[in-house]
Amino acid sequence: MTRSEQGRGSTYRFHHDKQVNKQVDKQVDGAFSRPLPLRSSIARFYITRWTQGQGVLLGDIFKKRSRPGRFRLIAQVLFLFAFTGLFIFYAFWLDSVEERTEDGPARPTAVESVTPHLGYIELAHAVRVGAIDIHTPALAFLILLLLLSIVIKKGFCSHVCPLGTLSEGLWWLGRKITKGRDLRLPAFIDLPLRLAKYALLVFFLVKVAGLTAETLHLLAYSPAVKLSDLRMWYFLTDGPDWLYYALGGLVLVSVFVPRFICRYLCPYGALLGVFSMLSPVKIHRDSSRCALGCKDCDRVCPAWIKLDKVEVVVSDECHLCLRCLDVCPVPGALEVRLGKNKRLPGWVVPAAVVGALLLGIGVMYLSGGLRSDITRDEYLARIGEIHYPLYSLDLGAPHTPDTPTAYDRRMLTPLRAFESKPRKVLELLPTESLELGAAAASLGLEEGATPSP
């Protein structure tokens, strides 16, 4: 028995032609020290699967096989254009605000899809205080993407997120430069770096959850949170010099380390990854079908998952990019399944991600989830002081204005807790009865009156 037959299992046999067998034996002996294309060609054109007494030449099957990753690429390009258009529209809106134009384009609230921290603050405020009205779009997008992760794993990261798409583009460029080789960090470096995004996530979640109801109320209605998207925009477009050096370094590293930012620095991806482990949609491997232990799937996986060693991929790093399905040389060796037995065609994943996201956005639009209570007048009044410390986000007691305006009335409205109730109930008190409400009461506004600057 040849080395190729001994080392790779009895479920495979080679072509009946003896001359072909001799040629394959010579190639297989050194195949695993050779580049990826040669091993793939051996697996595709010379191995025959023995099933129910019939030999099937895999080369004939692979000429017709589909590549589900192509559908994902289409989704990535479409959403990249969509986000580009969104940011351009946001820039036009901001330009009109800076020029103090009374009648200008409306603020595109969909931009809050990239501010999940505001969604979590809104969620905590809704649970503790019972009010949802400042960053409703951010909360709606946060809930939508968490539900999407439970259903289709980290489909947002691999199909929709513009940062993930750009990171993958840089990785593609790096593979062109290095001729298909990746810079894979050793485990003793990789693991601590991966824990960094979880540390950031846990710190933020615990910090906000640990705030008192009064402090959380101040934070939710503070200028720093209400105009957080403006502050972030100016920080990225007119930030300190070190920021651009850091971004340049991240771009350079991302060329050689696949999805470096996503893997090590993105706490949003960490949160979605935790929820994605609950998803019934996973990649399954049939060990009886793996050809020659080629490990093609391992080599193309940007998450560095050892697919040849697992039967079901449950890793929080898997975002269903489908690259492993694209390169697998044996039909049925790797499959996307719903549960344990329901097989799904590869194209179903990008179709489901796009369909679920569009459906969710449609529901948000019809239900008013894309509306925000921050008016254009407030942006016009505050845009000139956006660089003041008042607008610096601090996950504690926020900065309060020295001279309150009508826009600060809800922030300065105090709360009282009734401990006698089964659940702590918070209720607004008359503003003139407490010292904290004195500033708001001095504005001379009655309950229900329309504020003006």
Report how far residue 254's alpha carbon sits from residue 168's, in angstroms, rounded to the nearest whole number: 8
Grade residue 363 by pLDDT with cuts at 50, 70 and 90.
very high
3-state secondary structure of 391: helix
- Radius of gyration, CA atoms only, the chain: 28
pLDDT over 50 at 271, yes or no: yes
First to last CA, the chain: 88
Mean pLDDT of 297-321: 87
Grade residue 291 by pLDDT with cuts at 50, 70 and 90.
low
**Least confident segment among 44-58, 162-176, 204-218:** 44-58
**Stronger pLDDT, 120 or 400, i.e. the higher one:** 120
Sign of the dihedral through C-alpha 24, 26, 28, 33:
negative
Grade residue 405 by pLDDT with cuts at 50, 70 and 90.
confident
Grade residue 324 by pLDDT with cuts at 50, 70 and 90.
confident
**Least confident segment among 164-178, 231-245, 291-305:** 291-305
- In eight-state DSSP terms, residue 312 is B
Please report how many Cα atoms fall inside a 13 Å half-sphere around the Cα of residue 330, on the Cβ side: 26
Mean pLDDT of 86-98: 93
Mean pLDDT of 151-174: 91
pLDDT over 70 at 14, yes or no: no
Beta strands in 215-348 (DSSP E): 281-285, 334-338, 342-344
Q: Which long-range contacts (CB under 8 A, 24 or more apart) does 168-177 make?
A: 168/76, 168/258, 168/259, 168/302, 170/251, 170/254, 170/255, 171/254, 171/255, 171/257, 171/258, 171/259, 171/302, 173/255, 174/254, 174/255, 174/256, 177/255
**Stronger pLDDT, 346 or 53, i.e. the higher one:** 346
How confident is the prediction for the chain on average, in pLDDT? Answer: 77
**Stronger pLDDT, 175 or 198, i.e. the higher one:** 198
What pLDDT, in 10s, does the model give residues 416-436?
543 433 344 444 433 333 344
Short-list 390, 376, 371, CA closest to 218 = 390
**Stronger pLDDT, 390 or 12, i.e. the higher one:** 390
| pLDDT value at residue 293 | 64
| pLDDT value at residue 426 | 41
pLDDT over 50 at 44, yes or no: no
Mean pLDDT of 56-82: 68
Report how far residue 100's alpha carbon sits from residue 79's, in angstroms, rounded to the nearest whole number: 32
| pLDDT value at residue 354 | 93
Helices 136-152 and 348-367, packing angle to 10 deg: 150
- In eight-state DSSP terms, residue 207 is H
Q: Other CB atoms closer than 10 Å to residue 99's CB: what's the count? A: 10
Report how far residue 453's alpha carbon sits from residue 56's, in angstroms, rounded to the nearest whole number: 78
pTM of the model: 0.76
Report how far residue 197's alpha carbon sits from residue 262's, in angstroms, rounded to the nearest whole number: 9
pLDDT over 50 at 42, yes or no: no
| pLDDT value at residue 451 | 45
